[in-house]
């Protein structure tokens, strides 16, 4: 009897990658004596990937452009530049790979 929180999750919240989604949902429910408690929840994607693509024309005009996103606790994360196959730079929240 009382208030409870029902949580549901699927996947690994620490895994990164486009093929590794993490879904989660949470809802409060009041449980009463001798009564069934039904909870309907919709789990949504709880991790995401950020990609910003900028054309060479944009980067030539805004040569000092920097891109940021906020993490789950509101802290800014700088997106690092990587060269994209179609002569566009790609920005991601991971550091660029080193050449071997």
Q: What is the pLDDT of residues 38-94, one digit of tens each?
A: 999 998 888 776 777 788 888 888 878 888 877 767 788 887 655 444 444 454 555
* pTM tops 0.85: no
Closest CA to 82 of 69, 64, 62, 96: 96
CA–CA distance, 86 with 55 (Å, rounded to integer): 9
CA–CA distance, 98 with 100 (Å, rounded to integer): 6
pLDDT score of 82 = 52
Helix (H) or strand (E) holding 57: helix 56-61
Bridge partners (DSSP) of residue 25 are: 8
pLDDT score of 83 = 45
CA–CA distance, 19 with 49 (Å, rounded to integer): 11
């Amino acid at each position: 009897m009382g208030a409870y929180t029902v949580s549901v999750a699927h996947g690994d919240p620490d895994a990164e990658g486009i093929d590794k989604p993490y879904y989660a949902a949470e809802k409060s429910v009041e449980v009463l004596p001798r009564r069934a408690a039904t909870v309907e929840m919709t789990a949504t994607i709880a991790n995401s990937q950020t990609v910003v693509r900028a054309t060479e024309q944009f980067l030539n005009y805004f040569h000092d452009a920097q891109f940021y996103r906020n993490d789950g606790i509101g802290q800014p994360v700088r997106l690092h530049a990587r060269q994209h196959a179609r002569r566009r730079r790609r920005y991601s929240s991971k550091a660029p790979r080193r050449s071997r």
